[in-house]
Structure 1
């Protein structure tokens, strides 16, 4: 089933507008393929894939136990939540974490809304999750806590860069990936989407046009020169751009695939077919892998991912005393972002600790 395809209501359904009867036909409740595709484009591809997989799991379970998936009852959803808390998943061999089951509930409700069907009540299912969270917490199970990326702070970034061969094309690219990703507080997908033309050098530094996917808008993010040349994002980006130009690349993706032989944008084939971006653009997953690899090579403990750069920026900026609004607008967070507030609370736990002075 298409994740966002609404089903038409019966022809002739009636309502009233300002007291006058209106009769809708099936056409009024139908979307054209073009309009449906436009709606789907407003939902991130990763979210669509996750919801589709969650919905497939729910419908398969409903079929196996003789329940109706669409429209589902509140008790069916509660029963499914209880099932997920005790059933090992194929991927990990453990039951899903409560946060993952929360996403499943959201997917089920989204599918109902997309089908123009009243979404089931989930209060019972969420009580199941509350009980599961407490059970995990009392057992000191790591699944009881929300997984957070380790923030990449300046000291960690210096260690990550120390092992790079900055004379090689791959080393130049990885340095820009880390430094520009940190300075712009970009997500992995936003970094991967950057083109050479999105970077403009000025007397003060760089202006980087970043498409912020969560708020669906471009931001022109100012990146000043760093005081230390080794960790200066402006100098690192300038070096990479010059190297790319020597290879005839003055447009296209900024961050590109480079193999172990130093070949730029080598072709990738699977089953005899070419795969991957033809211009060699790195994927968001590849960008995150670079961060994880560099942190591992530097011997840094923690849970490292592409999000470590974004979280590290917010934490370090807050510790330097910058205002929430400036941090949020620089990094493209939505006003009142709960994620950003969480990062700032982490930064404030020492500087604003209520125990100090007691």
Structure 2
């Protein structure tokens, strides 16, 4: 990220004739690192990849273009190129976000002008809809019967089975993102009389890292009770001498316990449990199935959207959350229900 240097301050707050030196525009290494780390790691990686692809496209022989600052024509033409290549609209939107973010960081706020690019994307979405390609692929939500079947498939006489049970139960009850789950340390999850209190130090929507505590009630089914799932795992790792550090950990051969679990491993655990339980579309289940399942189950049970949003760290008008709600409503509030057909 580069800071913009203004040779002629014009905001009226600086006296005429003020002379800036190089020191006024220099930043320390620690400032540079904090600026670089100001966005989540996944976002930085995705934006870096998208920006690299854009600059490589701009450098093609025969039609070399300037990527920074890009003209509205270059921006729109690149969006059209991505559409011609067959990328999903969500991927194109990510690329557009990366390009505009890099322009903003370089001091080109509001550039490139995006009206033409957005019209190209809108036409592409309409074209995909007409061709039946507009269905969003989403991980199936884990319902209560499916959760019970998946947990039942985890052998409780092995460390892997005990850990995987906790991942499934805690992930759904917390409506947790995989990044939130793998970041949990032992002291972050505590047992209280009514269940568990989970302290999330930061999350995707907690821009200022204020942190929050999520309360998770005790369960009514022994295998899917979050408290018993937690205690079974902590007792197991305590016995192996791991009393602090990350809560969820990678396991190696001969039950060797690692220091932490990666986000991709959550996907693998969920998918493997779905396959063992012989769940329909098992290979489509991911960590997001737990988050989606928690919201879906809660709404079907009559929990207000505002409470679900707060529990799952969604904005109240989150389009993702509203998709889960609509999936329940299309059957619960169906116009043709009980009409006597």
- Distance apart, 1:203 and its partner CA: 1.8
Q: Aligned equivalents of 2:122 and 2:25: distance in 1? A: 38
**What residue number does 1:277 align with?**
none
**What residue number does 1:268 align with?**
none
Q: Aligned equivalents of 2:130 and 2:276: distance in 1? A: 35
Q: Aligned equivalents of 2:16 and 2:296: distance in 1? A: 57
**What residue number does 2:100 align with?**
109
Q: Which of 218, 243, 247 is the equivalent residue of 1:225?
A: 218
Q: Could you say what secondary structure the match of 1:17 adopts? A: coil
Does the 8 Å CA contact 1:288/1:306 hold for their aligned counterparts? yes
Q: Which runs of 5+ in 1 are unaligned?
A: 88-94, 266-279
- Distance apart, 1:139 and its partner CA: 2.1
Q: Which of 168, 193, 196 is the equivalent residue of 2:183?
A: 193
- Distance apart, 1:299 and its partner CA: 2.3
TM-score calculated relative to the size of structure 1? 0.86
**What residue number does 2:131 align with?**
139
**What residue number does 1:9 align with?**
5
Does the 8 Å CA contact 1:15/1:23 hold for their aligned counterparts? no
**What residue number does 2:227 align with?**
234
TM-score calculated relative to the size of structure 2? 0.90
Q: 1:22 to 1:185 in 2, by over 3 A?
A: farther
Q: Aligned equivalents of 2:25 and 2:331: distance in 1? A: 55
Q: Aligned equivalents of 2:321 and 2:17: distance in 1? A: 46
Q: Which of 191, 207, 217 is the equivalent residue of 2:197?
A: 207
- Distance apart, 1:230 and its partner CA: 1.5
Q: Which runs of 5+ in 2 are unaligned?
A: none
Matches of residues 31-50 of structure 1 in structure 2 within 5 Å? 31-50=27-46
Matches of residues 88-107 of structure 1 in structure 2 within 5 Å? 95-107=86-98
Q: Aligned equivalents of 1:24 and 1:71: distance in 2? A: 27
**What residue number does 2:68 align with?**
70
Q: Aligned equivalents of 1:211 and 1:353: distance in 2? A: 41
**Greater shift in the superposed pair: 326-335 or 146-155:** 326-335
Q: 1:354 to 1:262 in 2, by over 3 A?
A: same
Q: Aligned equivalents of 1:146 and 1:32: distance in 2? A: 44
- Residue by residue over 1:125-156, the C-alpha shift from the partner in whole angstroms, topping out at 9 and shown as x without a partner, is 22222222222222223xx2332121111111
- Residue by residue over 1:258-303, the C-alpha shift from the partner in whole angstroms, topping out at 9 and shown as x without a partner, is 12432222xxxxxxxxxxxxxx200111112111121122222343
- Distance apart, 1:85 and its partner CA: 1.5
Does the 8 Å CA contact 1:196/1:254 hold for their aligned counterparts? yes
**What residue number does 1:348 align with?**
329
- Distance apart, 1:30 and its partner CA: 4.9
**Greater shift in the superposed pair: 30-39 or 105-114:** 30-39
Q: Aligned equivalents of 2:270 and 2:337: distance in 1? A: 35
- Distance apart, 1:254 and its partner CA: 1.0
**What residue number does 2:84 align with?**
86
Q: Aligned equivalents of 1:18 and 1:72: distance in 2? A: 31
- Residue by residue over 1:223-265, the C-alpha shift from the partner in whole angstroms, topping out at 9 and shown as x without a partner, is 2221110111111111111111111111111111112432222
Q: Aligned equivalents of 2:95 and 2:183: distance in 1? A: 28
**What residue number does 1:317 align with?**
298
Does the 8 Å CA contact 1:8/1:30 hold for their aligned counterparts? no
User: Greater strand percent: which structure?
Assistant: 1
- Distance apart, 1:168 and its partner CA: 0.8
- What's the Cα RMSD here? 2.0
Does the 8 Å CA contact 2:140/2:285 hold for their aligned counterparts? yes
**What residue number does 1:90 align with?**
none
Q: Aligned equivalents of 1:153 and 1:328: distance in 2? A: 18
How many residues of Structure 1 are paired with residues of Structure 2 in the alignment? 330
Q: Aligned equivalents of 2:265 and 2:334: distance in 1? A: 38
Q: Which of 264, 269, 287 is the equivalent residue of 1:290?
A: 269
- Residue by residue over 1:101-144, the C-alpha shift from the partner in whole angstroms, topping out at 9 and shown as x without a partner, is 11101100000000012411122122222222222222223xx2
Q: Aligned equivalents of 2:57 and 2:226: distance in 1? A: 50
